[in-house]
Amino acid sequence: MIPLHCSIFALVIQTAIDYKALYEEFVQVHQKVVREFELKIAAFEHELASLKRMIFGSKSENFIPQNIPSTQLSLDIQTEAIATCSVTKAQKIEYTRNQVEIKKNHPGRTKLPEHLERREIILEPLEKAEGCKKIGDEVTEELEYEAGKLFVNRYVRPKYVKADNTAIIIAPMIDRPLPKAIAGAGLLAQIIIDKYVDHLPLYRQEQRFKREGVDIAYSTISDWIKNGCALLDPLGEALKKIVTGSHYLHADETPLKVLDKNKKGTSAGSVHRGFYWVYHNSTDNLVWFDYRQGRGREGPSEMLKDFSGYLQTDGYGVYDIFKENKEITVLHCMAHARRKFFEAKENNPAIAEYALEQIGLLYWIKRKAK
């Protein structure tokens, strides 16, 4: 039989062992919680720094490596290369430059283009030049402007009756862009160019016509533009075919505010959010803008249903539908990938700068290819 004091002693030892195990478990849990909080704090600090940089900092993401390697780019990234990558501090060098002032001859006025019409104006001397010998001309050129003017094309079609009074003959009317409108082709083209190239609002064009004594309603000009742009649809379809016929496309989408006639209220409340899907033919440097009301996959699915080749995007999830298409190779944007390493420079300079150097070599290849 075990003595009572031995049993108590064994119980105390076992209790101490249990408390030690419990304490060690508590320490591990505590360390885990502390580590999680440290990671959260680091994430919040990184997010705060990123927001401050976006609001107050420069948008530039320039990175100049300290040691530019002369060898070709290797895609076999070695761990040792990353570990031995060192960060070199930049030194500030100050010096004084002695500038030598050199007087340059005035280049004179800009020569006016040769294609402009010259209207010659002869200015004879006030004193009579009878009996004098001409030795040359003093020429001064002045750039002048003559305002565009409205005029009326009056199509007159004589009508004739045949000798036997059986029929009337008349010339057919020539084809016009908008047969039922009073606008000619030149005026229609100028209104569209003023609106979409020179960004002149329609109400200002309306006021300009009134200064010429011609009263054209705002709604009439709007209809001219709407129907005039419809005439360009065949050209638009041809452009879309050329763009999507490329074997290398960039695609991106950007939001924009669109006036909505079905919404009432202030200007802010009378708009809805639309999207311009932009497709860039990188081979021919042509662009097609496809407007959609949303940012879903319907737009690119319809636009690229017959596309085959390389499709480069920013990694937006909608484009993942093309990964299953054997005719399309999906590429992503290196600038977006590079940005993450640029943002990580403060957290882990060695790895981040190594990655930036490798990406810089890719950019070097691109510049050399151009």
92 within some domain: no
pLDDT value at residue 3: 61
pLDDT value at residue 99: 61
138 within some domain: no
12 within some domain: no
Distance CA 370, CA 366 (A): 6
Same domain, 185 and 258: no
The DSSP secondary structure of 41-61, one letter per residue, reads HHHHHHHHHHHHHHHHS----
Same domain, 227 and 254: no
Instruction: Give the domain range for residue 204.
Output: 175-231
The DSSP secondary structure of 1-31, one letter per residue, reads ---HHHHHHHHHHHHHHHHHHHHHHHHHHHH
Provide CB contacts within 8 A for 176, sequence distance 6+. Answer: 184, 185
Q: Per-residue confidence of the chain (370 residues) as pLDDT tens digits?
A: 556 556 676 776 777 777 778 888 888 888 888 888 888 888 888 778 777 777 776 667 777 676 554 545 555 555 555 555 554 444 454 545 566 565 565 556 678 889 988 999 888 888 888 888 889 889 888 888 877 888 999 999 999 998 888 899 999 998 999 998 999 999 999 999 999 999 999 999 999 999 989 999 999 999 999 999 999 999 999 999 999 999 999 999 999 999 887 777 665 568 889 999 999 998 899 999 999 999 999 999 999 999 999 999 988 889 999 998 999 999 988 888 899 899 888 888 899 999 999 999 999 998 998 8
Distances (CA, A) of 10 to 3, 6, 17, 18, 28: 11, 6, 11, 12, 27
Same domain, 269 and 326: yes
- Counting the structural domains of the chain, the total is 2
The CATH number assigned to the domain holding 289 equals: 3.30.420.10
Helix (H/G/I), strand (E/B), else coil: 169: strand
55 within some domain: no
DSSP 92: -
Same domain, 221 and 188: yes
Same domain, 271 and 212: no
Q: Which helix (H) or strand (E) holds 168?
A: strand 168-170
Count CB neighbours of 303 within 10 A: 19
Same domain, 278 and 326: yes
The residue type of 100 is V
Same domain, 195 and 267: no
Same domain, 317 and 266: yes
Closest Cα partner for 279 from 256, 298, 259, 254?
Answer: 254
Q: Which helix (H) or strand (E) holds 96?
A: none
Q: Which helix (H) or strand (E) holds 349?
A: helix 349-369
Same domain, 265 and 294: yes
106 within some domain: no
Torsion angles phi and psi, residue 20, rounded to 5:
-65, -45
Same domain, 214 and 260: no
Specify the long-range contacts of residues 308-312, CB closer than 8 Å, at least 24 apart.
308/247, 309/246, 309/247, 309/248, 309/249, 310/247, 310/248, 310/249, 311/249, 311/251, 312/248, 312/249, 312/250, 312/251, 312/282
What does the block give as tokens for 97? Answer: 């430059």
Closest Cα partner for 69 from 368, 369, 366, 361?
Answer: 361
